[in-house]
Structure 1
Amino acid sequence: MRRRALLATLASGSALLAGCGATEPTDTGTDPATDPGTDTPSATPPGTPDELVELDGNALFGASVVDLDTADRTYALSPMRYRTERGAEIRMRFDATATAAHPARIVASVQNVETYPEQFELDWLPPFGRAASEPPREHHERLMGAGLRDEGSLVLAPTDNHGLVDDPPAVERDGDGLWRLAGEIDRWLPETLTLDAGEAVRGEYAVVGHPEGSGRPTGVYEFLGGRDAEDVGITVWETSAPGPDEQSRFAGESVPSIDGDGEAGAGWYHTADASSGTYLRPETERAELPAGITFQFVNHTREELGCGHWYVYKLHDGEWFDLGPYVRTDDCRKVPPAGAKSWTLHAYRGGGDLPPADGRAYPYLGGGRYAVSVGYGAESSSSTAMVELVGDPIEIVPTDGVEHERDGSTVTVTAPEWDGGESEEDVTVSVTRADEAEESLIREQVMRRWYRGLRNTLPFFEDGVDEVVLRSQNQVTYGMMGFDEPEYRFEFEGQPYEVTTVDQ
């Protein structure tokens, strides 16, 4: 589409659409070229306009990344595609990096994917919206602004290859080699844009600094979307030093590996340095119980990384003990280039309320050294960080509602879910002292829901008690016995025990 022909339609489009605002959108199906719930094809689908920006790879969850020739900086643009409820589909990617001859450039397109003409407000439709970003923030910092701009902002300045701009702003290279806007930030694009069904407009932007800024701080520069639009971010890090800039309080310590994923001990935060492209950063490395500690994985690489599931361990007598979760979903969660994922450990000495949706509750944790691990990593399959929790040891106590009676050297414990042996789910197990064990358990494991069958037997081993019989159901004893195992041996605080199933 010619630029001047398009501009001539902007004013008349408002009258054309006066009766269309209340019209319900038409379902256009789930074509991969337009539907955000499907993967983006590598080539532009047939029948789409020439102005549409072509995207390679996973445009929904990936990022477009360039290393600058003019500074020790990497830029990562994400998302590369999003769609609004009003039917605007935005596509964008880097088209060139910054050199001595020109700044880094982004090409973008906005397309009306509805089956009727539609008018779009551009102010909150990045990158076609407001030109300046929020000031840069670190991954772990919350976005506090609402359209704030200052000397630290990045600016998307339209070039002469833009379908909506006739008089693009000038840019210049300053003394430190970085490109900046030469004049004041202005409204270079119209407030609204009217597009026919399927019509698209293409624009090119120079990624430059604020005219009064200096340097190029690292961090996340966000261009805010409005209502149903997405926020668009350009994440900036040092190309030669993408890792954390602070030192862990555990730096230099040697800890045992965590077995389980085939690459034990890899990806520790306390061994990460400036060259580490990925790392798991805890907001604090020491806290008093109870505590909520957020861990954030940062991906400063060009790769999409996964599969991410979170686990908690405790260090005891030189060995890491798994605190779960012991059951997880079979999905594969990814972190795109320049992406970050956060998870909060809600740690309690006793029982606690359910946590917010950003983490998981871990009740009954005593003082000691803990590790949180997630299944993302550039050179390993996981990343791990340690934290010291300060508090007294926990006690092993039965669950609510259990009843027990002693007959000589045997204690019989009856759980509330026991149905008198009449239910197919009813099960009876016997726990006795043994001479050897297959594995060791610690207090924090026994008090987890997975091992609540042991929680309802171990507290009853008083002097003179040789056997504790638990009458419960499969859902309670599964953690220690499974459904078909006839016996299980474990060691707890130096004493081996044997668990066997009793015929009902």
Structure 2
Amino acid sequence: MKRRALLSSLAAGSVAALAGCNERGNATTGTTTHDDSTRTTTPTTSDAPTPPDTGLADATTAVFETRDRTISLLGGRRRLPSGLVMRAWLSATATADHPARVTATLTNDTEYETTLRLDEVPPFDTTPHASPGRDYDHTLYLAPTERHGFATTVPAVARAESGGWYLDGPPDRWQPEAVELAPGETLVGEFAVVPERPDSFPPGRYAFGYTDDPLTLSAWQSSQPGPTEESAFEDATPPAFAEQSPAWYHDATPETQAFLRPSAERVDAPAAVEFTLHNHRTEPLSGNVYDWTLYKQVEDDWYHIAPWAIPVPLTPLAPGDTHTWTFHAFSGPSVECENAVALGHLGGGRYAFHVNMSSESGPTHAALFDIDAPAVSVTPTEDVSVEREYRLVRASTPDDGGDRATLVVQRTDDADTRLLPEQVMRPRNRGLRNTLPFFEDGVQKVRLRTTDGVVDDALHGGEPERVFRYDGNAFAAWRA
């Protein structure tokens, strides 16, 4: 309730900043109509409300008091091709006295007087409305209120017996087709968030406008923000990761506020699986969307499969927002997939997709999935040449003009670390891929003449020696 009170006081401050406006006290409002199709208003800069500090996530959130809904406004900051700046934010939640409200400003911070058509500038188009996906039976409107600075019509809204507010009448052209703004001028609009019918406000994403990054209201059920479908791994107890304890999708309940949902939990390779992180909290998840990891479970241990390196930008996930990672799994060589993660040489078994995104003190997120595929065979690259001298195999890759080095791999007595075929076939282990397949009966050592970078990668970038188990045998690797 503390967060709701904070939002209410923010709304009161924003409303007081609008010149010449009076608080509406009744539960149902009438319709006010003006004749202008193009309006020009000239409020001073000091009349315009100050947008809240939304931080990197750039979103505002409201928990309704009138129905079981929480909404978040996304995409409320943009510079238009004309050079003007649009800002929009949730300035009040829905109460028994009024619907939820969105305040929006349009500022001309250029040096020129500008006439702007509003048909592609939500929420200032003539009748701002949106539906969740393609469900056009449920339409949400941003209806101008009496505090709107230049609306041509102020529609009536009413409160249903069930508690929710709605549009009390047919939609109309509520705002002018164009406005004129002098240099430094700011226009202010306030809108009621109301569905077309009393009980027609399903959870979903309501996108206003047709740009790639529209103004969006994301709505979810406050009491049950999590998944309701059953997971195929409902009774699974996967081992813990070495450094993190994630919140697993299969443990999520309808009350779970943030979860990583896979589009499928069992697939046959080749296959694509989408992992979508949903944030139904009222604060952002922080972290890095590039910081994902694929693990494979063998017995009671997880083995890191990919990636090798991670870019490090901070990429928060706003309340109500989602982020999707598309993962393509191949049993053989991978095929490049645009805007997706594509990994080849993945054998059958249980995997986990983990993302390092969390609330301030909460867990990260992960999802289990099974791949049905043949076991992976470790094979050398096509460009390697070999010759055997009794117990020694000499291998070589072509000289590409770079620095050359030699990797030595030899049988040893024991090792604690295990390598899976899926790991050996990763590009970073190219040096091991071009040595381990040549350990036939009687071979004790393989010397690979290759590039300096390949040797560095095989030794984890500078370790003097790497000792590991592979296929039931122990090996040691070092730079000659």
TM-score, with structure 1 as normaliser: 0.84
> After superposition, where does 1:116-265 map in structure 2 within 5 Å?
116-137=112-133, 150-165=136-151, 167-211=153-197, 214-225=199-210, 230-260=213-243, 263-264=244-245
| Cα offset, 1:62, TM superposition | 2.0
| Local SS of the residue matching 1:440 | coil
Q: CA deviation at 1:135?
A: 2.0
Q: How far 1:418 sits from its partner (Å)?
A: 6.7
Per-residue deviation at 1:383?
0.7
Spell out, residue by residue over 1:220-241, the C-alpha distance to the aligned partner (whole angstroms, 9 max, x if none).
1111145xx9511111111122
Q: Does the 8 A contact of 1:154 with 1:221 survive in 2?
A: yes
Residue 18 of structure 1 corresponds to: none
> In 1, distance between residues paired with 2:213 and 2:412?
61
Q: Indicate if the aligned counterparts of 1:125 and 1:225 stay in contact, CA closer than 8 A.
A: no
* Residue number in structure 1 paired with 2:26: none
Q: Which residue of 2 aligns with 1:300?
A: 280
1:440 Cα offset (Å): 0.9
- Retained in 1: the 8 A contact 2:37–2:176? no
8 Å contact 1:132–1:156 — kept in the other structure? yes
Matched, 1:370 2:366: no
Q: Does 1:460 align with 2:438?
A: yes
Instruction: Assess, with a 3 A threshold, how the Cα gap between structure 1 residues 190 and 483 changes in structure 2: closer, same or farther.
Output: closer
Where 2:428 maps in the other structure, the secondary structure is helix
Looking at structure 1, the residues matched to 176 and 152 of structure 2 have their Cα atoms a distance apart, in angstroms, of 11
- Does 2:417 correspond to 1:431? no
1:486, CA displacement in angstroms?
A: 2.2
Deviations 1:262-290 (A, max 9, x none): x32x2111111112111111111111100
Task: From the superposition, tell whether residues 496 and 203 of structure 1 become closer, same or farther in structure 2 (CA, over 3 Å).
Answer: same
Match runs of 1:9-158 below 5 Å:
10=38, 49-58=45-54, 61-137=57-133, 150-158=136-144
Change in 2 beyond 3 A, CA 1:382/1:444: same
- Letter of the structure 2 residue corresponding to residue 326 of structure 1: W
Equivalent pair of 1:172/1:180 in contact (CA under 8 Å) = yes
Q: Is the 8 A contact 2:294 2:304 kept in 1?
A: yes
Deviation at 1:427, TM superposition (A): 1.2
CA distance in 1, matches of 2:241, 2:318: 25
| 1:89–1:113 contact (8 Å) kept in structure 2 | yes
Q: Closer, same or farther in 2 for the Cα pair 1:59/1:86, shift >3 Å?
A: farther
Cα distance, 1:230–1:482 mapped onto 2, change above 3 Å: closer
| 1:275 corresponds to 2:255 | yes
Unaligned runs of 5+ in 2: 1-18, 22-33
**Which residue pairs with 2:322 in the alignment?**
340
Which of 313, 330, 335 matches 1:331?
313
Question: Does the CA contact (< 8 Å) of 2:56 and 2:316 recur in 1?
Answer: no
Q: After superposition, what is the alpha-carbon deviation per residue over 1:357-380, rounded to whole angstroms, capped at 9, x for unaligned?
A: 2x2211111111111111112353
In the alignment of these two chains, the number of paired residues is: 447
For residue 78 of structure 2, what is the amino acid of its counterpart? Answer: Y
Partner of 1:469: 447
- State the Cα deviation string for residues 328-370 of structure 1 (Å, max 9, x = none): 122222111111111111111111221112x221111111111
The structural deviation recorded for 1:57 is: 2.4
- 2:241 is paired with a residue whose SS is coil
For residue 320 of structure 1, give the secondary structure of its aligned residue in structure 2: strand
Contact 1:62 1:337 in 2 (8 A): no
**Is contact 2:74–2:215 with CA below 8 Å preserved after alignment?**
yes
Tell me the CA shift for residue 8 of structure 1.
Answer: 7.4
Pairwise CA distance, 1:11 = 7.2
Displacement, 1:12?
8.9
* Structure with the higher fraction of residues in strand conformation: 2
Residues 369 and 482 (structure 1 numbering): CA distance in 2 closer, same or farther, change over 3 Å?
closer
CA distance in 2, matches of 1:132, 1:286: 42
Q: In structure 2, what is the Cα distance between the partners aligned to 1:12 and 1:66?
A: 32
The one-letter amino acid of 1:192's match is A
CA offsets, 1:42-81, max 9 Å, x none? xxxxx98134331232366321111111111111111231
TM-score, normalised to structure 2's length? 0.88
Secondary structure, in 3 states, of the residue corresponding to 2:358?
coil
Q: Is 2:431–2:455's contact at 8 Å kept on the other side of the alignment?
A: yes
Q: Secondary structure at the match of 1:92?
A: strand
Contact 2:354/2:366, CA 8 A, preserved across alignment:
yes
Which sections of structure 1, spanning at least 5 residues, go unmatched?
A: 14-46, 138-144
Query: For residue 430 of structure 2, what is the amino acid of its counterpart?
Result: R
The reply on whether 1:499 has 2:477 as its aligned counterpart is: yes
CA spacing shift, 1:469–1:48, aligned 2, 3 Å: farther
1:395 maps to 377
Structure 1 letter corresponding to 2:146: D
State the AA in 1 paired with 2:163: G
Partners in 1 of 2:131 and 2:171 — Cα distance?
Answer: 15
Amino acid across the alignment from 2:306? G
**Percent same amino acid at aligned positions?**
33
The one-letter code matched in structure 1 to 2:250 is: H
